[in-house]
Amino acid sequence: MSKAVMIQGTGSDVGKSLLVAGLCRAAANRGIKVAPFKSQNMSNNAAVTADGGEIGRAQALQALAARLSPHTDMNPVLLKPESEQGAQVIVQGKRAGTQLARDFGKSKQSLIKPVLESFTRLKAQYDLVIVEGAGSPAEINLRAGDIANMGFAEAANVPVILTGDINKGGVIAQIVGTQAVLPPEDAAHIKAFIVNKFRGDAALFDEGLVAIEQMTSWPSIGVVPWFFDACRLPAEDAPELTGGTGGTFKIAVPLLSRIANFDDFDPLASEPDVSLVMVPPGLPLPADAQLVILPGSKSTIADLAFMRAQGWDIDLAAHIRRGGHVLGICGGYQMLGQTIADSDNIEGSGSTAEGLGYLEVHTVMKPEKRVRLTKARDPVSGAAISGYEIHLGETTGVDCARDWLRIGQHKHGASSPNGRIRGCYLHGLFTSDAYRSAFLRSYDVRSTISYDSDVDATLNALATHLEQHLDINHILKIAG
């Protein structure tokens, strides 16, 4: 019979996703057939699966750690925020509609059926399933109808290991306090705890471990030191975006309020000769950037207004006047055009917005969502590209006739007459080493890394890190 264990956290950003990825690779390195699972995730950084659906980027990375292709069963419910109050709901990879947070809270219990269906399929195929919780089980106000933490653990009868973040401070209170607020039947699911993100001499926390064990009766699985190479792995949450500042070729990316699929830039940030600047709201686009990339967005029209509110449209105009180059990906591509029409209220605007006007193209939002893995090529260098498309809009216009990328025999994207402004719907294009090298070479910049190999090596280093500092055998015993 297959085994399972769930990693829950005392709060958000305690390192659950990274722990699950590292444990998946550690298990795979031991010859265990392992798969990741997260019943409910919330992220605009989605990945496309081979079965034609969407899952959270963290689960795609965890699948890679397990040496598997991502599958929609690994993340059956994905929430993609479209506003402060509502999100697009993805169920088993497919768009099920948009709901306000209060409405989702009332209806989420109905999603336990597809969640358990997906989990059961994974358990039938793999020797071990490592489950990631969401947020914290201590949010007892959300316990009714919960499908992400203790509600799932109870429904699927999965033991839990609780993780606290010592880097935030107060880790003893985090763990002991979680037990204190949980109903006894929920607390009973927790079999042990982990202290994560320690800096310095871990022996200095020995008395802290003893205190937690005495107050909770839970054993410690270990204290995990800070993993400094985590920045080399794709991030799921926009607040984690810092870019890279090593090289002389400067690329600026504005941090839109609904930025999506921002892992597009990870390979560029990893290049030693590139300086990737993620520009937060309230700051101007740097005047010395040679290239500005407008990223994907979950709400293009709203983010276009957000961009103008920051004055980034003025900065972009100055950048172009100075001879700078601009690239738009997905939502950023749509913004560069003449108009964006949302007459069917797909994004909730129900109107037509004037674009930035740098490409002679027009976008119409349509209810049919294109979600697919895509192979393309650069007709200039001949470099192959393996990427993906995930968008609602359809973009047409005279600038689409200029050849930039090819998907099969079809032209893809658009380019201005002088070639300095381009846009496309293809995510992940910079992950392809050959294309990234050709792209940077066109700016007289060297590419010196193999991105996929570097990510794989980092996952192995993470697995080794966890093997050194956690009792993996105890975790496997709990799973059994």
Active site members: 330, 427
Question: Which is nearest to 470 in space by CA: 232, 229, 198, 214?
Answer: 198
**Bridge partners (DSSP) listed for residue 326:** 292, 421
Residues 255, 278: Cα–Cα separation, whole Å: 6
* 200-231 exposure pattern, b = at least 16 Cβ within 10 A, e = fewer: eebeebeebbeebeeebebebbbbbbebeebe
Instruction: Report how far apart, in Å, the C-alpha atoms of 160 and of each of 108, 163, 397, 479 are.
Output: 21, 10, 54, 9
Q: Are the C-beta atoms of 435 and 378 separated by less than 8 Å?
A: yes
HSE toward the beta carbon, residue 335, CA cutoff 13 A:
29
Q: What is the DSSP string of 327-338?
A: EEETHHHHHTSS
Contact at 8 Å (CB) between 422 and 413? yes
Name the residue type at position 357: G
Cα(388)–Cα(95) distance, integer angstroms: 17
The tokens describing 204, both together, are 């200095």
User: How far, in Å, CA of 296 to CA of 388, rounded?
Assistant: 13
Comparing CA positions, the residue from 331, 336, 319, 313 lying closest to residue 422 is 336
**Distance between CA atoms of 395 and 406, rounded to whole angstroms?**
16
> What is d(CA 455, CA 10) in angstroms, rounded to the nearest whole number?
28
**Is residue 317 within a helix (H) or strand (E), and if so which, with residue range?**
helix 312-321
